[in-house]
Chain A
Amino acid sequence: MTVTDTSTRVATPSTVIDGVGASATRPDGVPKADGSFVYSSDEYHDGSLWGVTLRSPHPRARILGIDTSRAEGLDGVRCVLTHRDVPGSATYGMKIYDQPVLAFDEVRYQGEPVAVVAATHPEIARRACELVAVEYEELVPNTDPERSLTGTVEGLPGGGLARHVRIRHGDVGAARARADVVIEGRWEMGTQDPAFLGPESGLAVPLGDGGVELYVSCQNLHLDQQQVADCLGLPLDKVRLVLSGVGGAFGGKEDLNVHIHACMLALRTGRPVRMVYSREESFFGHVHRHPAIADIELGATRDGRLVFTKVRLVLDGGAYTSTSQVVIANGCYFAAGAYHVVDVEIDGYATYTNNPPCGAMRGFGAVQSCYAIESAMDRLAAELDLHPLELRMRNAIGEGDVLPTGQPVDGPAPVQEILSYLRDLPLPPDSDHFAADMRARPGGVGNVTRGEGIRRGVGYALGMKAIGFSGGMDDTCTARVTVWIRDGEPVAEVYCAGPELGQGVVTLEAQIARTELGVRTVELRDKDTDIAESGASSASRQSWMTAGAVAGACGLVRDEILARAAAVLGRFDGELTLDGPEIRGRDGRPLVSVADVLGPESVSHAFTYRHRPTEPVDDERGQGNAHVAFAYAAHRAVVDVDVELGLVRVVEMATAQDVGKAMNPVAVEGQIEGGTVQGLGLAVMEELQITDGRIRNPSFTDYLIPTMLDVPPMPMKIFEFPHPDAPYGLNGVGEPPNLSSTPAILNALRQATGLELPRAPVRPADLISPTAPGDGGAGLARADQQGDPR
């Protein structure tokens, strides 16, 4: 059954205000704007202590001893805990328990937690951390993923290889003979940070029964609860998680951060414990986007038809597994891009090193592979002397085409429509740099050019990604909806654990209840682990899954209200419809009010939603129907580059995306703009610079994210081709705009400069054209020939 089957029995949409499809305002919007919203860093409890983490200064070292006595002696310190104090499992992890709660034998990345302190004041706790004497024997860190993928590096799990994904479809060897043109290249991507503004934080409150309650910002309450309980050595029912205000996540809050530490401190001291990472600590306290090396070979006929695609993708996962095996799989699934090509060979490697751990981040591996394949497609277009958009349109995937994993594409695949929009959209006018405000020029307020050295470029990219959890996972989401009468009117409460990260799932929950029940007032209950799981707010799945669960629960509530009304009225409930406060008959006449039917009673139902089943791919050839659904987006980037200074102004980012159904059009636009900007950052500035396993720029002073002056206008086309399997026909929205944004800008920069630009993000030195006049025509030698420590 699809959830919308019963929707014939709900009020017509015209009588519903702020229902599905309306740009309803966020319930948390005003509090977030006026400062009253409680983020996890604001959580407070009388008598709470402060917890602070001591972290390893070394990327790799053996721990010879830890002496906490001096720290414990500091006035105001309530406890100092090390690995010896972890009550349950010594390790945790999203897929594999391999990450120590507190390091016990060896530290494997810079910033790994070694001890935690609870004190009456955060500064006392920080000073106590400095008094913890950890004796380290420094070891040489392994930081080269190319070495790790051989699986032979001593001191790393699996010899350094976390997973090798193989996808084989058709016969690349035979196809090569049919190719008129073959291009190849290597494209690299640095490490992006999720750079959420709300740092990791939470409040743990010990309970009288030996249990603990944790108010925390996270992306999956129940998966976190399981790991916390295991490490605390407590049964699940003694560990209650409540979602606190999340100030952004982007995947970086899928792994645990303060959770276990805060609970350990609270249970040991018997006092509530607050923990809030500083901005600098936050860069060490969450996973990053995997840095990537991609080698691609493409073959095509002279008329621009892809003949084969061969990809080798290496993602460095750093010290611990997190979700690396799944990220590399997802990167490989879409490494051939949104193109129809039969003969495909893809090898993906996720590695272990002593670099900072990497895991989930918006796009989940597909960002790296989209960047690589879209860079390769532009090289192929140049080789064929074809317009890059034309090459893409000739090869765009369509419904019924078979993916490299053998799965036929079903559901709408309107790639031609998406690309046509970008083709037909007029280009922005040339800038008059001498007349324009300096803020419109490359370099912005730095006042570095009045038009000198500026070249314009236009670039395109197309992206495709799976929506929801792939590979045979039985993914569920449960919601409970309760209706009762207040002041003569029905009120609905929605209860669902799907984390609100800022994306707006709470807005949708209320919209769906309004549409399904016709109610005006919807209350949203706090999200916690007392209800069954919702799954993670990740994989662009939460709107889909929550909509299924909430609509399903609403349907059960509505059925019971109508059944009760039918009993009161002596009619068949099939004749009745629910219209807000009224129950109407076949002719639309009101027969009885919901208030009269319910009286003082409430009606409450839970519903568990599942998407269609999928299957894992096989190890040998990577074949299988692994995916629930697919989403597509494309970008056209227009850039101005000062080729003497290497500075960039992105002039415009046009984009088109199929969202199935715009459940909340303003929220959809927000997601598309946000994803586009995050991709822009990855193209031109966002890089965690890591040398010998050490992060060199753990601050917002030196890890730069785009400001208002870096963000251009974003003309946008939102297509709504209903997805047949999804509630309301919706599709996932959050990740697709993050895929094609980065390569579109890189392709535009390549067009503007004539440079190959094999690495993202580009730095100013990379963009200086050898033919630019510069300081005498010589240009700047390439950074990689200068022993630059990247």
Chain B
Amino acid sequence: MDNLGRDSAVLRPSSWRGAVLLRSEYPDASPICGGTDLMVDINFARARPSGLLDLTSVQGIDSWELTDGGRTVRIGAGVSFTTIIEKLSGVCPALAQAARTVGSPQIRNRGTVAGNLATASPAGDSHPVLMACWARVEVESVRGPRLIDIDDFFVGPKRSALAPDELIRAVLIPAATGAQQFAKVGPRNAMVIATTSFALNLDVAGRRVGTGIGSAGPTPLRARAAEQMLEEAMADRWDEPGTVDESLARRFGALVAEAASPIDDVRGSAEYRRHALAVLGRRCLTWALADLSREAAA
């Protein structure tokens, strides 16, 4: 017997189809891939799943590919944060930056975006970027596959739209077409859970602004008013952003802060989180516009 209990089973499918079937057959078995969240809970006796559905041997989920004519990156459920940093910093710069802030090197070697999603913590480091990039989550069950828009994915603290018989197979993220930023505040300079975090995506091709807020609400959030305000302000300057407008950046930051609904907890006060988001919103926009201007000039 181990911490899982006397009757626990470890299911080890080697194919995706096998995994989907087992998921349906044993809905109480916790899927595990990196194990960087689940094993902490098990080791602290906070979780006692009746079984584990081990996805580490499933063929084909540990790779990524460009699809949709190079416009979308499809990241398999088993792709580690380390791989994202090493291979995807060009097409998904904000995601790669978020991946750099995840845990320690050992955790980044094991942890995955799909695991982040499955845990659905508002503090998941990749979530603000997935929000800002309008990612879609590719899930599958015996009932068939479906795509869940990221805006529909998070339904509460550590609760997602994933059905009990579904598994996350991949995450689809549009490749960056403009400038992206991700910034995360924590009281330690590495290996820290976010006090709050912010992602910004200036999608030049789509003439769209995407945002994502982490650790400042029951779920990852989108700063819609900030996005709309900036889209209007950018309407005639996507291709020639020009110099960074200080008051625009400040208004943007204030709208980002307004979109948050943080609480006081052991990692920081609600007030500090709002304040920090205003600063991060302003700084990220300033950097992103500067990046765009540099590219436009080049």
A residues whose Cβ falls under 8 Å from a Cβ of B: 121-124, 126, 278-280, 439, 442-450, 452-453, 644-647, 649, 684-685, 689, 696-697, 699, 701-702, 704, 706-710, 763-765, 768, 774-776, 780-781, 783, 786, 788-789
**Can you name the residue of chain A whose Cβ is closest to the Cβ of B195?**
A764
Taking CB atoms, residues of chain B closer than 8 Å to A684 are: 187
Min Cβ gap B241→A in Å is 18
B254 CB to nearest A CB, Å: 7
Instruction: Verify if B26 is at the interface (C-beta below 8 Å from A).
Output: no
Does A446 contact B183, Cβ atoms closer than 8 Å? yes
What is the CB-to-nearest-CB distance from B247 to chain A, in angstroms, rounded to a whole number?
11
Bound form: Cα–Cα A765–B276 in Å:
9
Answer yes or no: B116 CB below 8 A from chain A CBs.
no
With the chains together, A644 CA to B253 CA distance in Å?
A: 13
Residue of A nearest to B102 (CB): A445
The reply to whether the CB of B14 lies closer than 8 angstroms to some CB of chain A is no
Query: Which residue of B97, B181, B283 contacts A452 across the interface (Cβ within 8 Å)?
Result: B283
A781–B271 CB distance below 8 A? yes
Asked whether any CB of chain A lies closer than 8 Å to the CB of B39, the reply is no
- B269 near A788: Cβ-Cβ < 8 Å: yes
Contact B189 A439 (CB under 8 A): yes
The reply on B266 being an interface residue by CB < 8 A is yes
B81 → chain A, closest Cβ, in Å? 12
Knowing that A644-B279, A780-B272 touch, tell me 8 more A-B residue pairs with CB under 8 angstroms.
A443-B186, A448-B183, A647-B187, A647-B189, A707-B189, A775-B279, A776-B278, A781-B271
Q: Is the CB of A710 within 8 A of B190?
A: yes
Q: Is the CB of B182 within 8 A of A709?
A: no
Asked if B267 is at the interface (CB within 8 A of a chain A CB), the reply is yes
Q: B294 CB to closest chain A CB, in angstroms? A: 14
Interface centre among B43, B44, B287 (most CB of A within 10 A): B44
Q: Are A444 and B257 in contact (CB under 8 A)?
A: no
A707 touching B1 by the CB < 8 A rule? no
Q: CA separation between A708 and B188, bound complex, in Å? A: 10
Which of A647, A702, A781 sits near B185, CB closer than 8 Å? Answer: A647
Chain B residue nearest to A129 (CB atoms) is B45
- Given contact pairs A645-B185, A707-B188, A783-B269, A278 touches B43 in the complex (Cβ within 8 A): yes
Q: Residue B193 contacts which of A647, A702, A764 (CB distance < 8 angstroms)?
A: A702
Q: A447 is contacted by which of B184, B187, B266 (Cβ under 8 Å)? A: B184
Q: Are A704 and B283 in contact (CB under 8 A)?
A: no
Given A774-B275, A775-B257, A783-B269, residue A446 in contact with residue B187 (CB < 8 A): no
Shortest CB-to-CB span from A779 to chain B, Å, is 8
B272: chain A residues within 8 A (beta carbon): 646, 764-765, 780, 783
* Residues on the A chain within 8 Å of B191, using CB: 707, 709
In Å, the complex CA distance between A649 and B189 comes to 8
Please give the distance in Å from B43's CB to the nearest CB on chain A. 7
CA distance A702 to B194 in the complex (A): 11
Contact assessment for A775 and B193 in the assembled complex, using a CB-CB cutoff below 8 Å: no
Asked if B268 is an interface residue, CB under 8 A from chain A, the answer is: yes
Mark B244-275 against chain A: 1 for CB-CB distance below 8 A, else 0. Answer: 00000010011001000000101111011011
- Cβ contacts under 8 Å, A122 to chain B: 3
Closest residue of B by beta carbon distance from A644: B279
The answer to whether A704 and B187 have CB atoms under 8 Å apart is yes
Chain B interface secondary structure, helix, strand, loop or mixed?
mixed
B18 at the A interface (CB under 8 A): no
Q: For residue A649, which residue of chain B has the nearest CB?
A: B189
Q: How large is the interface on B (under 10, 10 to 19, 20 to 34, 35 or more residues)?
A: 35 or more
Residue of A nearest to B290 (CB): A450
CB within 8 A of A776: which of B184, B192, B254, B283? B254
Whether the Cβ atoms of A446 and B185 lie closer than 8 Å is yes
Q: Does B68 sit within 8 A of A, measured CB to CB?
A: no
Contact A704 B271 (CB under 8 A): no
B38 CB, min distance to chain A CBs, angstroms:
14
Determine which of A450, A702, A708 lies in contact with B267 in the assembled complex, contact meaning CB atoms within 8 Å: A702
Could you tell me the distance in whole angstroms from the C-beta of B273 to the nearest C-beta in chain A?
A: 10
Contacts of B104 in A (CB 8 A): 707
Q: Bound state CA distance, A123 and B254, in angstroms? A: 50
Does A448 lie within 8 Å of B184, measured CB to CB?
A: yes
Q: Chain A residues with Cβ under 8 A from B276's Cβ?
A: 645, 764
Contact B271 A780 (CB under 8 A): yes
Find chain B residues with CB under 8 A from A764 CB: 185, 187, 195, 268, 272, 276
Is the pair A446, B186 in contact by a Cβ cutoff of 8 Å?
yes
Whole-angstrom distance between the alpha carbons of A33 and B99 in the complex? 29
Interface contact A710-B279, CB-CB below 8 Å = no
Q: Determine the distance from Cα of A683 to Cα of B282 in the docked complex, in whole angstroms.
A: 29
User: Considering the chains assembled together, what is the distance between the CA atoms of A453 and B279 in angstroms?
Assistant: 10
Contact check, A776 vs B250: say whether CB atoms are below 8 A apart.
yes
* Residues A645 and B279 in contact, CB atoms below 8 Å apart: yes
- For A704, what are the chain B residues with a Cβ–Cβ distance below 8 Å? 187-188, 192
Contact pick for B187, options A685, A699, A774, A776, CB 8 Å = A685
Of the A-B pairs whose beta carbons lie under 8 Å apart in the complex, a sample of 14, sorted by A's number, is A123-B45, A124-B1, A442-B189, A446-B189, A645-B276, A689-B266, A704-B188, A765-B275, A774-B275, A775-B253, A775-B275, A780-B271, A783-B269, A788-B264
Structural contact, A448 and B193, CB atoms closer than 8 A: no
- The reply to whether the CB of B82 lies closer than 8 angstroms to some CB of chain A is no
Give the interface centre of A279, A445, A647, A776 by most chain B CB atoms within 10 Å: A445
Q: A446-B183, A763-B268 are in contact. Are A710 and B44 (CB under 8 A)?
A: no
Q: CA A122 – CA B3 in complex, angstroms? A: 8
A63–B8 Cα gap in the complex (Å)?
36
What's the nearest-Cβ distance from chain A to residue B82, in Å?
14
Q: Please determine whether A446 and B184 come into contact, CB atoms closer than 8 angstroms.
A: yes
B190 x A708 contact (CB < 8 A): yes
Which chain B residues (197-226) contact chain A, with CB distance < 8 Å? Answer: 197
Q: Which residue of B lies closest to A696 (CB)?
A: B266
B residues in contact with A706, CB < 8 Å: 188
Give chain B residues whose Cβ lies under 8 Å from the Cβ of A696: 266
Smallest CB separation, A417 vs chain B (Å): 33
A278 x B44 contact (CB < 8 A): yes
Question: B5 an interface residue at 8 Å Cβ cutoff?
Answer: yes
A702 to B193 CA separation, bound complex (whole angstroms):
8
Q: Which residues does chain A contribute within 8 Å of B45, judged by CB atoms?
A: 123, 126, 278
In Å, the complex CA distance between A649 and B190 comes to 11
Q: Are B188 and A685 touching (Cβ within 8 A)? A: yes
Chain B positions 125 through 152: 1 when the CB is less than 8 Å from some CB of chain A, otherwise 0 = 0000000000000000000000000000
Residues of chain B contacted by A709 (CB below 8 angstroms): 189-191
Residue of B nearest to A446 (CB): B184
Residue of A whose beta carbon sits closest to that of B273: A765
Enumerate chain B residues within 8 angstroms of A768, measured Cβ to Cβ.
Answer: 275
Q: Could you say which residues of chain B place their CB within 8 Å of the CB of A448?
A: 183-185, 279-280, 283
In the assembled complex, which residues on chain B have CB atoms less than 8 Å from the CB atom of A278?
Answer: 43-45
Contacting residues, chain A, for B97 (C-beta < 8 A): 447
User: Which of B100, B186, B268 counts the most A-chain CB atoms under 10 A from its CB?
Assistant: B186
A446-B250 contact given A124-B1, A706-B188, A765-B272, CB 8 Å threshold: no
- Nearest opposing residue in chain B for A449, CB measure: B283
Contacts of B278 in A (CB 8 A): 774-776
Given the interface contacts A278-B44, A445-B101, does A780 sit within 8 Å of B190 by beta carbon? no
Q: How far is the CB of A193 from chain B (nearest CB, A)?
A: 14
Taking CB atoms, residues of chain A closer than 8 Å to B236 are none
Q: Please state if B193 and A701 are interface contacts (CB–CB under 8 Å).
A: yes
Chain A residues within an 8 Å CB radius of B185: 443, 446, 448, 645, 647, 764
Q: A452 — which chain B residues lie within 8 A by C-beta?
A: 283
Residues of A within 8 A of B193 (CB): 701-702
Return the 5 tightest CB-CB contacts between A and B, nearest first: A444-B189, A775-B278, A709-B190, A446-B184, A765-B272
Distance (Å) between the CB of A25 and the closest chain B CB?
27
How far does the Cβ of A35 sit from chain B's closest Cβ, in whole Å?
A: 15
In Å, the complex CA distance between A488 and B104 comes to: 52
The answer to whether A445 and B100 touch across the interface, beta carbons within 8 angstroms, is yes
Is residue B7 contacting chain A, with contact meaning CB distance below 8 A?
A: no
Task: Report chain B residues within 8 Å CB of A442.
Answer: 189
Q: Are B264 and A765 in contact (CB under 8 A)?
A: no
The answer to whether A444 and B190 touch across the interface, beta carbons within 8 angstroms, is yes
Contacts of B283 in A (CB 8 A): 448-450, 452
- In the complex, are the beta carbons of A445 and B190 less than 8 A apart? yes
